[in-house]
Chain A
């Protein structure tokens, strides 16, 4: 596998379910990101991890809980979501050390029923 991978690609969950999104980067990057893309809106940054430490949390509700066990893996744990949380969730990674380009995974299309 190369680049940034995300699983699952599609997820349908009820409001009382608990699920997790997984992201893995094979690029040796130092930083990882979760973004949310809703219809007709720009990409919204949710969380940033740099060297496995969370460095940014953009006022995301606590029903979204990130986890970064190592520099290659990033999870987004979901619980008691709302229908308005339905969106495309994108993971990205970047090299760090003065290089700003972020490389995105294919995304998880989440539908909350």
Chain B
């Protein structure tokens, strides 16, 4: 049973534009949400996180938005760069557990 869903397997964006990656979750007990970036043959790299008590967190070009009522979060990358091309995973965890629940990922391609 997939508790974290990324319904878009791929996304293509032009360099300089905004990339918006979406994620939905079903478990209202999740307290913390994270985004990871993964290149082929490497482990996921932690990008940015947000606590369930917040609705926005920003770090440089990356901003994560959380809409708890809709059980939806999104990652905005502005401006997008070719080096951002990778697979992006959304993950969620409750503060009583240890397991990160991952989505299946969205492959982002930023074209020059």
Contacts and interface: CB of A to CB of B under 8 A. Distances in A.
Nearest to B99: A45
A47 to B, nearest CB: 10
Given A42-B2, A42-B103, A104 B98 contact: no
A78 B13 CA distance: 42
Contacts of B98: 31, 33, 45, 48, 50, 55-56
Interface stretch (B39-47, B56-64, B66-74, B75-83): B39-47
The A interface, classified by DSSP as helix, strand, loop or mixed, is strand
Interface residues of B, number: 24
A90 to B, nearest CB: 5
A84 interface: no
Interface string A37-75: 000111101001010000110100000000000000000
A104 B36 CA distance: 10
A54 to B, nearest CB: 11
Interface string B1-38: 01010000000000000000000000000011010100
Contact of A102 (B2, B31, B100, B103): B100
Interface of A: 4, 6, 31, 33, 40-43, 45, 48, 50, 55-56, 58, 90-92, 98, 100-107, 109
